Structure 1
Amino acid sequence: MIKTLSDAVTLVEFIVSKQGKSVEEAMQEAEVPLHLRDHVLKYFSPPLQITPPDLITDTIQRIPRCNPDIDSMQQYFGTFQRFLIDTRRWPKSTVGTLAETSLDLIKQLPKPDAAESFKAYGLVLGYIQSGKTANMAALIARAADEGYKLFIVLAGLWKDLRAQTQRRFDQEITGRSDDPADEPCVQHDSNMAPWARLTQSGLNGDFSDMPNNLDARSPHLAVIKKNKRIESLMEWLERCPVPLKDLPAIIIDDEADQGSINTNYGRTDDDGESIDPSATNRRIRELIQKLPKCVYIGFTATPFANVLIDAEEDDLYPRDFIATLPEPPGYFGPRKLFGLGMDPSDLSPHDKHGSPLDVIHKVEDTQMDEIDDVLENGGDDCPEVLSEALIAFLLSSCARLARGHDQAHFSMLIHPSQRTAPHRIVATVISKELELLKAAAIRPAKFPDLLARARKMWEFDFARVTSEQEDTELADYNFDFEKVWKFAKSITESIEVKVLNNYSEDTLDYTGHPKRYIVIGGNRLSRGLTLEGLSVSVFTRMANQYDTLLQMGRWFGYRPKYYDLTRIYVGKEMGDRFAELARVEDELRADLRKYAQKPDPPTPLQLKPIIRTHPTMAVTSRLKMGAGRPVTISFQNTIQQTVSFPVDNKALLRKNLDAARGFVSKLGNAWHSGSDEGIHIWKDLPCTGVIEFLNAYEFSREAHDVNRQNLVNYIKRQNDQNELILWDIVLPLGNPKLEPFSWSTKYLTHKIVRTPMTIQSIKVLSSPSDIEYWREKTGRDSKDPLQGCLILYMIDKESGSEKDMKFFHDPNNAEDILGLVIIFPESKSDATIEYISQ
């Protein structure tokens, strides 16, 4: 009988190879349990198209760089790959992506056998809860193959996070474990030098008992917290029996924006002298300087503080490379969760129209006050929000069992306060409410009100959301309440309530049998720590910094076959901030991608990314702002144009065409329609129509400055100053050699040709002759702040050539592209958009 995924894959693989049957037929013959079939299919799925990271690098190679190819000798990385595929049963496509990404990253590092000493600094930008540790492990394995000998992982500020990271690397990299109950570890070939562990996986396992003897042939791994343990490591290096020049080192700084940033930057003492760097930052710098050959690589999902480090200082700025990892397939992050009208090509199958997934419950202030009252004054009554969230967790867990997820972990997160004292109060209240739910699960007839409440939540919330998803994977999961509730007894009896904070000795152990945890805590839950199978989150704490708020989003990550069962309870203001911040984060990533994809990209030292400010939030802690300074962008007296387009999504392009036709059809009769020129002009139209059109037009993700939010906000701010009140609309003639395009039943022009510079962008859209014609005909003056102009161009879908570049290589998936040119006049006001930059 098949009990595990490993059993299922082994048997299916045997049937496929020996009998020539398809995977589906083999699963049928092997009688693979229903809950394992999707995992088996993923294992045998063909590799996905791999998107490489976007890299901004220093093109001057002072030291030769590593340059392996995909087929190079791979001892440590080879065993790592085999372990993921054969033991972890990861899909081959996922492991293939890891292989390619780590290969791109390793090529940025100096060759460890270089004759002279070197220092290199890099930054890898991933996504929250997106498999960052796997990328670190892959990079370590490849670097060990290249000849790096010392690997130091700075694993956050908390014991359990450090221990979690150590255990993961022991299983996947070193092949050695302190706990016999751990899952199987990677097995190295006998001809390979064994890994030497300088730290252990226990909670106090970082540098409690350092070895005195080292084998210079072996790679060495230390996983330590970002605190005084760094000094312990440096003391050990002082007496290290191997010359440090023979230990080329890589320092991997996990959550590099936390603890590592110099919070004393720019501060001076009474004599005007610069204050020494903050303690952890100073220790990291000293560690780098102590190692003759050293590479420092920061990993983070919130790089706001990192890109604002003064690039001219002797600090941790990533002066050698910045790598932006692509968003992994199946990942649920802030953009997809909050929608925000993003490009449908980036959205998951259930969310094609860019609307947010309806799993976020924005709680009114009065309900949040109930929680605050319990935190301050104690009491036995469970606040309404926590009671509702607890029922939601029970229903979500029951539904997962009904879907066959009996071998999965289920977790709930409650984040009531940074202070630790309230955590036990909440735990007591939750435990009492849990007993009530347990009694209702055993004897439902005695609790009719509670049962009716659970039924209502299932039918009007959970069942409704599931039925609304356009996802074939969920088609068979429209269960009635009875089918779900029958699992309530087993769930309530297996739930453990845990408190995680500085003073708690509670730990999470996901080894062994499936766990059902309700986890209550503060800062320890906000960084790095993984909650397996997280389905329900409650956040009452307000954060006022971009990086803090994003990192609190532990619900981001992978939710295969149960994303519709997740629920998030947040205060209304906090929920709104998350939605706004999703766009800010995406803008920064788009900014870095844009720089990386330029024909002549800047080096990291030349990079000047800008981060949009928010009226009530700080980009990062004031002490971590580094060289960040406010900068403003104004559109006054400029010509703005769309030069990047989401050409990989036909539906989005079609939507823009429909928006343009709808807009033109409402304009009425043109003020001017040239009989020979074929250009159509409308004069003095109200700005409301332009704003409505810009809100309907879907801009490319790559559009940084010229995007909906910037344009609409600027126009509205100018309107408040009685500017940009009136607008002209222009449809240019286009290229008479091309077929005409119908904007409405009355107005036609010709399309234009623009050769792509990259597959998604052009160099310029506007034609100076069109702008000049409009000015001559209307007599418009750029000094008139009342008047704006919008020009619409239709780019022919066949633009480009096979020799150079084309937007579309598949004519069946091609669509004409709508481009916008907006002419802004001079302004007498000071309306601007504010950002932070170096």
Structure 2
Amino acid sequence: MPNIHASNFDVVRAYVSNARSKDKSWEEILLQNSEKYTLDDFINLKVMTGEFPEDTTLESFQQIVEERRKAEKEEEKLRISEEETIIISDEGEENEITVPAHENSSWQLYKRKLIEDGFTDDSIIKLEDSTLQILRKLNSGATSSKVVKGLMVGHVQSGKTASMAALMAMAADWGWNYFVILSGMIENLRSQTEKRLWEDLNHSGNLKWNIINKPSRNSPENERLQSLHLNKRDTQRYFTVSLKNQGRLKNLNQWLKEDENKLKKMNMIVIDDEADQASINTKNIDSDERAKINQLVVNLVEGNDRKVQPSSTNYISYTATPYSNFLNESAPESLYPKDFIGALPTAKEYFGPKEIFGMEEEGFEGMNVVREISEEEVTRVKNLETGESGGLPLSMKHSLAWFIISVASLRHPSIDYIKPVSMLVHTSQRQEHHDRVAAAIHYYLKETPLDEQIQFCREVYEKETAAFTPASLKESVPGYPVEEEGLNTYPPFDEIEEEIKNIIETNVSHIMLGDDGDLHYHEGMHLCIDNCSKNGINDDFHIRLAYPERRSRNYPEKAPAFIIIGGSTLSRGLTIEGLVSTYFLRGPNASDTLMQMGRWFGFRKGYEVFPRIWMTADTREKFRFLSNLEAELREELDDFAKTGRRPAEYGPRVKNTPKVSWMRLTAANRMQSAQAVDLDFSGTSNQMIHYHDNSAILSGNVSATESLIKECPAPYQSVLKNSIVYEGVDFSIIKEYLTKGMTFHKRSTVFNRINEFCEWFEKADREDNSFTGWNVVVSGTGNPLEAGSDRRKVWNLAGFNIGMVNRSALGKEEQYENLNFKNIGVLRAPSDLVADIPKKHFEEFKHESKAISRLKNSEVSRLREKYSLGNTPQLLIYRIDKNSKPRAGQEAANRSNLNLPVDPVGICIFIPGDLRKGSKAKALQIKIDPAQENFETEE
């Protein structure tokens, strides 16, 4: 086969690109629906006329088309994945801080460390920009003494600590001299944060950093408040990482009152890490009594029990799940982020909910790294935990085998990964359950014959390495900043078999405690139980998780391996290093709690293709929902930022969509001021992606759609040639069809609340009177003026033959065995949103330079506005081939045959994006305390 990347094939690529710019479908380019001549004949003709190189073949042309198709898909994913910093505040209140430029400034030294740690230029630029934006909102004590309160929303395990360290470094350069970091409720998480910040900031430069550990009236002399150097010209900077418990916070507040003269010189920043934990007031907010920890944090920030206040006080909270922070209370004395709310950007190296679980509304399927734990296996785990049986379920054996395979692979000379590699087992909060699971894992690994384990590992290896490859990763996360050939991949099994034997045979034990009092690590597996009942040391072993220090003399030559079993301590904050295998059964119904348990989110440099997660289908569905919830929240913050209003004037809304009945945002006592508010449907495009596996329901939807079409005016062929358009359809006909004709699956989103949508539309139209009649577009493949063929199934409507579209099922066939529906992931083709361009604009529209197959939402709005559709809603209809199959290569990417009993009808509703009032769909928004607004205007 010729080299298609040679320059002589540029003319073929140009032909394909030109065809796409004219909105030819892939099927049309490949002549799949043509009855006039074959693709082979077409290529021969192009070669004969000299338009294509002489060595152009059918295979080379198809490969060029497939590469272009893949590139388009990646471009669309990249567009959606791009995130920048969003800050909501009063733009008029910013200070004039700039980025410290001196090479020995704390910021430049920290920046140098980030470069040494492998941060990309893009990540550092985003971090610098977000840090500067936060600092410009803060009070430095120069012109005002008001307490500034803000909130930054990040992602779970996405580098919030890096943002906090960056903020401390840059703030220190600008004169802030004392930092308090409130770090959870568990000591080993607090010490991990303290250690990380010290390593990030403690460099020889213009400033000297000091840790004030557990400040109190009994602190050593050099850590007493009166001993600190807080004058403007002093180069000392101090920080305290404090637990959120009563004793530590009481002592800290007492310590601040020891020397009023020193306190007046203090410029303080309080950073609340995991601000949705413990800091929330869970007492009745209408009473005078506050939750104890919340009251102590309020005292720290507001100085309620101090006669004198610092020169400046700023409170900045960080969290990945801000629902309770948004919805609980907004009184002036609360911790509500009255001054600013921001959303941190996400580095391209980060693997989060969107990358792993996909985005339902955008058609992102996620990485094929999640494996299902069946209900039968869940029962076996529960029996194991209660002591009714001791055997491991097959799914846990799979996860163990994959962990061993990953350790052996990462130790292979071709990779030579030397950092810790971990497996997480999180099935229960109960400590006795942890002990039983640990004992069962130990028994299985020690007592199962070695040959049997090796053979099982080989079977798991063959299955897993075929299911997810470097190519799969780049397909799922095209923006990941490492090329496919630069990703570490799986060594041949025969080359890791000896190391697998070594790992199993060496040892399975807790971390050993040497005669020298140091922790010692071996080449086998370290079995750790991390919960509050373990003090760490038991006889000659350290039971809790303790990773080796990279610089210690006892650091092992090979990557050390850890199996970690636990509950609360693993649910929030603790970073699990080199996490390649997760066995997860915890499934609370509060979205903030569940998301915080995602220890598998984060950065996976050097072992990107190895992580796997075992969980139930139900839990997987919850995380997929949360992926969408995160995106909706960022969208809401972005929209809110554009209004120019401060959080103290108008709190952000959190969509309380009933996509899943089992999910609530947070506990009831953590959103006491939440009120239902109107949510606008305008500017939205909602697709139907869930389909009943039921012949009667599917047939009923087809009949209802055909009845709708009969009531519409005469259609015409669209400018895109693959669809027909019915103009000016009255909404009463559409409403009847949506509310009485169609049956939607309970997992559908907007369609599951179609009555609310119709109420909203009628009210918005009545008050604004700016909507035109609806356009109904029936879209498909090929030319509707042509008949069907063996390769083109058609739907006959009003004398047109609409080609049925191919939409395979999202997920493997076995996932749907006990379900009554199929999920196709994505229905709509982006170009179809402009298929209803009026006839009078056909000629002008053909000259649009941008390829409409890759339309952004903003581009859709622009084109619709330009071509007289700015106020025209659209109902887009497809007929799907019931026998749809994955395209070549999609089978391994978590796709399967659709296999429905009837060719189903799918619809998409597009609403113009004007900001209309009076919507009916509900969201949750905090009820702003009037005193908050008055408080602000008095300043």
The CA distance in 2 between the partners of 1:381 and 1:644, in whole Å, is 47
Q: Are the aligned partners of 2:326 and 2:336 in contact in 1 as well (CA < 8 Å)?
A: yes
- Equivalent residues in 2 for 1:11-26, closer than 5 Å: none
Aligned equivalent of 1:316: 335
Q: Are the aligned partners of 1:66 and 1:111 in contact in 2 as well (CA < 8 Å)?
A: no
Aligned equivalent of 2:139: 110
Q: Which amino acid aligns with 2:299?
A: E
Q: Give the superposition deviation at 1:477.
A: 3.1
The CA distance in 2 between the partners of 1:395 and 1:333, in whole Å, is 24
Aligned equivalent of 1:300: 319
Q: Give the superposition deviation at 1:626.
A: 3.1
The CA distance in 2 between the partners of 1:758 and 1:162, in whole Å, is 43
Q: Deviations over 1:618-653 (max 9, x none)?
A: 211111113113446587xxxx445999xxxxxxxx
* TM-score of the aligned structures, taking structure 1 as reference length: 0.69
The CA distance in 2 between the partners of 1:751 and 1:224, in whole Å, is 55
- Equivalent residues in 2 for 1:174-189, closer than 5 Å: 175=202, 186=203, 188-189=204-205
Q: Are the aligned partners of 2:153 and 2:343 in contact in 1 as well (CA < 8 Å)?
A: yes
Q: Give the superposition deviation at 1:520.
A: 0.8
Q: Confirm whether residue 466 of structure 1 aligns to residue 478 of structure 2.
A: no
The CA distance in 2 between the partners of 1:423 and 1:791, in whole Å, is 52
Q: Which amino acid aligns with 1:558?
A: F
- Equivalent residues in 2 for 1:576-655, closer than 5 Å: 576-596=621-641, 598=642, 600=644, 603=647, 605-613=649-657, 614-631=660-677, 640-642=682-684
Q: Give the superposition deviation at 1:95.
A: 3.1
- Equivalent residues in 2 for 1:325-404, closer than 5 Å: 325-341=344-360, 343=362, 354-377=364-387, 379-402=389-412, 403-404=414-415
The CA distance in 2 between the partners of 1:207 and 1:336, in whole Å, is 49
The CA distance in 2 between the partners of 1:585 and 1:423, in whole Å, is 31
- Could you tell me which of 543, 548, 565 is aligned with 2:610? 565
How many residues get paired? Answer: 653
Identical pairs, percent: 26
The CA distance in 2 between the partners of 1:520 and 1:734, in whole Å, is 63
Aligned equivalent of 1:346: none
Q: Confirm whether residue 739 of structure 1 aligns to residue 827 of structure 2.
A: no
Structure 1 759/634 Cα, relative in aligned 2: closer, same or farther at 3 Å?
Answer: closer
Unmatched 5+ stretches in structure 1? 1-48, 176-185, 268-273, 344-352, 646-662, 696-707, 743-747, 775-787, 793-818, 825-830
Q: Deviations over 1:450-491 (max 9, x none)?
A: 333222211122333227616423788354322232321343
Q: Give the superposition deviation at 1:222.
A: 0.4
The CA distance in 2 between the partners of 1:128 and 1:59, in whole Å, is 28
Structure 1 144/468 Cα, relative in aligned 2: closer, same or farther at 3 Å?
Answer: closer
Aligned equivalent of 1:280: 293
The CA distance in 1 between the partners of 2:276 and 2:255, in whole Å, is 26
Q: Deviations over 1:563-600 (max 9, x none)?
A: 3321111122222211122211221111112222x264
Q: Confirm whether residue 835 of structure 1 aligns to residue 835 of structure 2.
A: no
Q: Give the superposition deviation at 1:52.
A: 4.2
Q: Are the aligned partners of 2:91 and 2:644 in contact in 1 as well (CA < 8 Å)?
A: no
Q: Give the superposition deviation at 1:305.
A: 0.9
Structure 1 790/225 Cα, relative in aligned 2: closer, same or farther at 3 Å?
Answer: same
- Could you tell me which of 484, 490, 496 is aligned with 2:526? 496
Q: Are the aligned partners of 1:738 and 1:751 in contact in 2 as well (CA < 8 Å)?
A: no
Q: Are the aligned partners of 1:412 and 1:534 in contact in 2 as well (CA < 8 Å)?
A: yes
- Could you tell me which of 171, 175, 179 is aligned with 1:151? 179
Q: Give the superposition deviation at 1:416.
A: 1.7
Q: Which amino acid aligns with 2:435?
A: R
Q: Confirm whether residue 517 of structure 1 aligns to residue 602 of structure 2.
A: no
Structure 1 51/236 Cα, relative in aligned 2: closer, same or farther at 3 Å?
Answer: same
Structure 1 475/71 Cα, relative in aligned 2: closer, same or farther at 3 Å?
Answer: closer
- Please give the secondary structure, in 2, of the residue aligned with 1:836: strand
Work out which structure has the larger RCO, using CA pairs closer than 8 Å and 6 or more positions apart in sequence: 2
Aligned equivalent of 1:225: 243
Q: Are the aligned partners of 2:774 and 2:874 in contact in 1 as well (CA < 8 Å)?
A: yes
Aligned equivalent of 2:753: 714
Q: Which amino acid aligns with 1:836?
A: L
The CA distance in 1 between the partners of 2:143 and 2:496, in whole Å, is 66
Q: Deviations over 1:347-368 (max 9, x none)?
A: xxxxxx7222221112111111
Q: Give the superposition deviation at 1:378.
A: 5.7
The CA distance in 1 between the partners of 2:219 and 2:424, in whole Å, is 32
Q: Deviations over 1:718-765 (max 9, x none)?
A: 99xxx9xx99616756484662568xxxxx999999xx9996685895
The CA distance in 2 between the partners of 1:162 and 1:244, in whole Å, is 25
Structure 1 146/600 Cα, relative in aligned 2: closer, same or farther at 3 Å?
Answer: same
Unmatched 5+ stretches in structure 2? 1-80, 304-308, 475-483, 507-523, 537-543, 688-704, 763-772, 778-834, 878-907, 914-918, 927-939
Q: Give the superposition deviation at 1:197.
A: 1.5
Q: Give the superposition deviation at 1:326.
A: 1.8
- Please give the secondary structure, in 2, of the residue aligned with 1:672: coil
Aligned equivalent of 1:790: 875
Structure 1 297/484 Cα, relative in aligned 2: closer, same or farther at 3 Å?
Answer: same
The CA distance in 2 between the partners of 1:507 and 1:757, in whole Å, is 47
Q: Are the aligned partners of 2:686 and 2:910 in contact in 1 as well (CA < 8 Å)?
A: no
Aligned equivalent of 2:426: 415
- Could you tell me which of 56, 75, 78 is aligned with 2:88? 56
Structure 1 253/790 Cα, relative in aligned 2: closer, same or farther at 3 Å?
Answer: same
Structure 1 96/682 Cα, relative in aligned 2: closer, same or farther at 3 Å?
Answer: closer
Structure 1 118/515 Cα, relative in aligned 2: closer, same or farther at 3 Å?
Answer: farther
Aligned equivalent of 2:884: none
Aligned equivalent of 2:123: 94
Q: Deviations over 1:639-696 (max 9, x none)?
A: x445999xxxxxxxxxxxxxxxxx99x9899842589x9984497799599999x99x
* RMSD, matched Cα: 4.5
Q: Confirm whether residue 196 of structure 1 aligns to residue 210 of structure 2.
A: yes
Q: Give the superposition deviation at 1:51.
A: 6.0
Which segment is superposed worse, 474-483 or 546-555? 474-483
The CA distance in 2 between the partners of 1:295 and 1:121, in whole Å, is 6
Q: Confirm whether residue 253 of structure 1 aligns to residue 272 of structure 2.
A: yes
Q: Give the superposition deviation at 1:221.
A: 0.6
Q: Give the superposition deviation at 1:312.
A: 3.6
Q: Are the aligned partners of 1:309 and 1:316 in contact in 2 as well (CA < 8 Å)?
A: no
Q: Which amino acid aligns with 2:620?
A: G
Q: Are the aligned partners of 2:150 and 2:316 in contact in 1 as well (CA < 8 Å)?
A: yes
